[in-house]
Chain A
Amino acid sequence: MAPRKRRLVASLALILMLLLSACAAPTDTASVRKDGEPVRVSGSGTCLPLLRILSGEYSDETVEFVFLPGLHSGGGIKGVANGDLEIGSVSRELTKDETALGLRYTLLSRDGLVLATHSSVDIPGLTSEQVRGIYRGDYSNWKELGGPDLPITILDRNEDESAKIVLREFVLGKELVITPKAVNLYYEPDMIDGLQSTVGAVGYFSLGYGLSQKLPVNYLQLDGVDASVENIKNGSYDVIRPLGIVTASDASEEINRFVEWASSPAATALIEKRGFAPAR
């Protein structure tokens, strides 16, 4: 009975939406959002999990969020700038050109970048040099690094990804040439998926996401330092990237209210609880 009723309600809603859209579509362009329409969110894939957490906990039920597929940080900024998005997620510093767009940037969290292996590789950590060696292609088997006899499967991200940028900035250095044996994965979930399903794989991803999802992978110490919120807060773990959002300067009242709330102490506590380091 209950599912049937739910189905009925859903189909009625669908019909209503079709009617509404039939009325609205010819007169409006898709770029301008009207009040009551869902708030469109996209941008950096790293930051989206955080925004999902925040939007899920947001108390105002009248505001509906829709998460469009990841566009990376730059795509999010451009989307907000030309009005295709209301909120763009950004997991890196804004460039000069981007700052010139005059958008409102709000820092929500500082996310650690953690190196990890498939759970079959039971080493506690790597030094920065060892990491550089792996990505340079110096090692082919975990034996060489004190691990099990398993070939190393190197998972990497594109150079313009914020995670790769941060990794290069803090660990690899700008000049390091990545071995061709490494494979570039486009999205962070792919990276995480590969890390979980491939014996002997190594890769890196958002600490906050990993902690919040309790991923069954082997988190590595970097230079003997645990990747933890605590260590990020006290500054001993410094491979971090800023997670923030951009909104239009003339954004609607309800979006501004959300932004205000997201940077409030209550939201900060929530962020920290879920494994993300707070903004400051």
Chain B
Amino acid sequence: MNPFGRHLHNQIIAPLLVASVFVAAAAMIIAVTLIGQIIDSWIDQTAASATVIVVSRLEESSNDMQRNAKLIAEDQRLVAAVADGDRQTLSGLLVLQNQSVSADNIMLLDGKGEVICSTGRLQLAPGASPLGRGVRDWVLLSMSHHPILVSVGDSYTLTALEPVKGQSGSTFTLAISTVIDNTFVEGISQGSGAAVCILDENKKPVAARSTQEIGGAAVSEALLAPAPAVTAAIAAMGADSSSPMSVGEEHYRLKAQLVTFENDPTGSRAYLVAAMPTTVAEDARRTTTGLIAMWSVVAVTVLLGLNWYVARRVSEPLGQLSDSVGRVADGDYSAKVAFHGLNEVTELAQSFNTMTDSLRDRSESLTKKVLELATLYEMSRALGSTLDLDILLESVLESAMRIFNVELGYVTLRDRESGELKVRSLQGSSSRPDEAAVRSSMSEWVVREGRPLIFNPPRPGENEGSRIDSVSGALAALCVPLVSSEGTLGAITVGSRDPRHRFTSDDVRLLATIANHVTIAIGNIELFSSLQDAYLATVRALAAAVDAKDPYTRGHSDRVAQFALLIADSVELSPEQKTALEMAAYLHDIGKIGISEEILLKPGKLSDEEMGQMRHHPLIGANILKPIAFPWPIAPVVRHHHEHFDGRGYPAGLKGEEIPLLARVLTVADAYEAMVSDRPYRRGRSDEDAVLELQRCSGTHFDPRVVDAFIRALDDSATAIQQLVRPPVEELGPEEARAVFVAVCDGMCASFRRLGGPRLASNLEQDINGSFAADGLPFMLSAGHLVVEDDGDLSDEARLEQMRRAMDAVAAFIERTSGASLVGHFYAEAVESLPERMRRHADDLGLLSSRD
């Protein structure tokens, strides 16, 4: 994705960055160009002014020379000497004059332009002809002249000429010359700030001078050499520009100027070139450019930073808002935006926060309502689906706790008989509350007053002692009465141990709704159970009628019902089937009402006819029951309870799975009961025999699965009984242990007496009593009974130890007199004679553990 198109931030910064860079660059270009132009024109002006200064100095010195020439020419001695033609004197006078004027050279020329005498740097000997032919002609015009630029001998000079009247009308010319050399140039260019070069009329460099500051000898030499830059400068003379020149690292701008004098008949001319160093200007330009560039960079950076800040200030809140809106869209109403300051964005943020708060509140209340509805729906289903009060209350409490998001809940119901309030179901607390706690609980008040009650823990700062519900230990609790048309049944309470939890009036309304459902459900359950009780009573009445008819089988139906239920548990029948089975078991022999008492009460074997009559009783029973609209299918069970699994039964001769399951179960229970119970004409078989018989007939007579389930159930129930009647060892009281011990001891003594006779038994008593006394045991045998003396406070362990030692003593005596094998026999006999419970205790106590 294009990074510049994505963020508002970048969209703000990018154009500003481009703009500021563009402005900075434009400003730099303009500034640098302007500065360059200013500096260039400044250099040109400086060069031009330098040439003006130099030229004016040149004129100044030429004026001085003209004045000096006049002074010397008018010197009387000189005039006289000239008149005399005295060369020696003239020469001396020139020397003398030159002391005062300090000219480079003074000479006197005759009419032919030859030197009469000369003194000075030119070192001209008399008779020499130093002037070029062209110049000589006008020199001899004998006129006073402004100095001219002329070559004298080998030197290029500025020379002033003055006529001096000589002998016989001849005219001599006094010439004062200044050699245009580097020293002269230095003199006239001093302070101009430029290196100066003078070129003769042929544009041949004559002299140049540059001070050390302007570049020194290197520049002078560059100017004196036939430099193209100099030529260019001369060519550009008069124009308003200058030509560049470079010497080494240094750069110069050259400005040329034509040097001519007014009233110069020779029209002599020279060129002056001023070289102005641009180093300072370049430095200035560079420094200024650098400063401007630096300032531009700083300005751009500062602007960029500012842009960045502004863009962040604008885009960051928008980004946050956008994120938060996205989160809100995803359902996260806790999304918040927080900005500091006071502007439109913070107002927007506040509005947004208010909006999300309101959305969250609505969403939460909506969610809560949905949850409530869902839970209520679920609860109402649960209410309808069970007729067991405990299950009902448990599921209601669970739902209510889930709705209110609390961990405690209980239901109290008023007991119909006692009128006392009892806790029927308690969730979230392990300990069962005692009656006092219930009496002082809030539900007691609610049930009494018939009004709901809330208590919430005090808020921080509220000066109110916190209350705790005495039943559940909740700090915050809500209790609503279960009000039916018959008055207040009880109360439902939910609570929380969280001191921050608060119940509201909405919660009261909701819990009241739940309470109404519960009340209706309790009513239903009570109604159903009374209906069921009525049925059961009816059935029992019918069963009693059968019992009245056949006293021999009294209690038969009850016991069959018990065995049938035992099997029902084992084959895991549903509660309805169990109820149906129970009913059928009670009523299975109802058909015997229709059997004549002769047959029914006849002892001994029945004839085939009698037996045929007897075999009608399932059909008769089914017919009796048919008109009664039982909620369960009882009649088929009664009809087929004599069918055999192999199809040889009666009345229909059904086979295997064709026989209803309940009928097959009932057949087994009925047969077993008939086998084990005593009858007037015979004793009942033992359990084991009955089981063997069941197993023998399994598959033919009985459904094998039902038989297996029954045998399993019998085993389980035996174990269950054993476990029920046999308390754990640690719960065996010392008195009971002693009773077992005494009984075993008595039993053994009795066996010994039977075998050994009274005499030996009396010996036994004496001997053993001696042993007891010697051992300090608190026992004594007297007339075949063990008497226990008061032994004070002893631990159970110590007593057990005493008993074992006593038993050891008895066993030792018997062993001594009758042999070791009899000890075990006597002990087993004694234990065998004990009741079941005591027998097991004797085993546990291990009274004879050392032998065996």
Chain A residues with CB under 8 Å of chain B are 3, 120, 140, 150-155, 180-186, 190, 193-194, 197-201
Contacts and interface: CB of A to CB of B under 8 A. Distances in A.
B93 A183 contact: yes
B88 A199 contact: no
B131 interface: no
Nearest to B89: A181
Contact of B126 (A151, A155, A181): A151
Nearest to A151: B87
B86 interface: yes
A199 B123 contact: yes
A86 B95 CA distance: 34
Nearest to B123: A199
B119 interface: yes
A182 B95 CA distance: 10
A129 to B, nearest CB: 20
B213 A3 contact: yes
B123 A197 contact: yes
A153 B88 contact: yes
A103 B311 CA distance: 97
A199 B105 CA distance: 12
A120 B86 CA distance: 20
Interface in B89-144: 89, 91-96, 98-99, 105, 117-121, 123-126
B95 A194 contact: yes
Contacts of A190: 99
A181 B77 CA distance: 11
B95 A199 contact: no
A181 B119 contact: no
24 contacts: A3-B212, A3-B213, A120-B125, A151-B88, A151-B117, A153-B91, A153-B95, A153-B117, A181-B88, A182-B92, A183-B93, A184-B96, A186-B99, A190-B99, A193-B99, A194-B95, A194-B99, A194-B119, A197-B95, A197-B121, A198-B117, A198-B118, A199-B125, A200-B91
Size bracket of the B interface: 20 to 34
A13 B92 CA distance: 46
Nearest to A187: B99
B95 A198 contact: yes
Contacts of A155: 92, 95
A200 B94 CA distance: 13
A150 B88 contact: no
B167 to A, nearest CB: 16
Contacts of A140: 87-88
Nearest to B99: A190
Q: Which 3 residue pairs of A and B lie closest in terms of their CB atoms, listed nearest first? A: A183-B92, A153-B91, A198-B119
Contacts of A194: 95, 98-99, 119
Contacts of B91: 151, 153, 198, 200-201
Determine chain B's interface SS by DSSP, over half rule. helix
Contacts of B117: 151, 153, 198
B393 to A, nearest CB: 108
Nearest to A148: B125
A152 B88 contact: yes
Interface in B437-453: none
A154 B118 contact: no
Contact of B92 (A150, A154, A197): A154
A181 B96 contact: no
A140 B212 CA distance: 49
A234 B93 CA distance: 39
Contacts of B98: 193-194, 197
A201 B125 contact: no
Contacts of B99: 185-186, 190, 193-194
Task: Tell which of B95, B105, B118 has the most Cβ of chain A within 10 Å.
Answer: B95
Given A180-B89, A186-B99, A197-B123, 10 more contacts: A150-B125, A153-B95, A153-B119, A181-B92, A185-B96, A193-B98, A194-B99, A197-B105, A198-B120, A199-B123
A151 B91 CA distance: 9
Contacts of A198: 91, 94-95, 117-120
Contacts of A181: 86, 88-89, 92
A187 B745 CA distance: 176
Nearest to A182: B92
Contacts of A152: 88
A200 B91 CA distance: 9
B92 A199 contact: no
Task: Tell which of B91, B123, B124 has the most Cβ of chain A within 10 Å.
Answer: B91
B110 to A, nearest CB: 13
Contacts of A184: 96
Given A3-B213, A150-B126, A201 B88 contact: no
Task: Tell which of A3, A140, A182, A199 has the most Cβ of chain B within 10 Å.
Answer: A199
A103 to B, nearest CB: 32
A197 to B, nearest CB: 5
Contacts of A3: 212-213
Contact of A183 (B95, B105, B125, B213): B95
B114 to A, nearest CB: 13
Nearest to B122: A197
Contacts of B92: 153-155, 181-183
B87 A199 contact: no
Contact of A185 (B95, B121, B126): B95
A197 B105 CA distance: 8
A183 B96 contact: yes
Contacts of B96: 183-185
B45 to A, nearest CB: 23
Contacts of B118: 198-199
Nearest to A184: B96
B287 to A, nearest CB: 16
Contacts of B88: 140, 151-154, 181
A154 B89 CA distance: 8
Task: Tell which of B117, B121, B125 has the most Cβ of chain A within 10 Å.
Answer: B125
Nearest to A137: B88
Contacts of B105: 197
A34 B105 CA distance: 45
Contacts of B213: 3
A130 B98 CA distance: 28
Nearest to B119: A198
A194 B120 CA distance: 8
A164 B647 CA distance: 191
Contacts of B124: 199
Contacts of A182: 92
A156 to B, nearest CB: 9
A150 to B, nearest CB: 6
Given A153-B88, A154-B88, A200 B95 contact: no
A154 B90 CA distance: 11
A153 B212 CA distance: 41
Interface in B58-103: 86-89, 91-96, 98-99
Nearest to B96: A183
Contacts of B86: 181
A77 B840 CA distance: 166
Task: Tell which of A151, A181, A193 has the most Cβ of chain B within 10 Å.
Answer: A151
A194 B117 CA distance: 13
Contacts of B121: 197
A3 B93 CA distance: 44
B95 A201 contact: yes
Contacts of A151: 87-88, 91, 117, 126
A6 B601 CA distance: 162
Contacts of B125: 120, 150, 199-200
B178 to A, nearest CB: 14
A151 B125 CA distance: 9
Nearest to B128: A199
Contacts of A185: 95-96, 99
A153 B125 CA distance: 12
A84 B210 CA distance: 42
Contacts of A197: 95, 98, 105, 119-121, 123
Contacts of B212: 3
Contacts of B93: 183
Interface in B184-222: 212-213
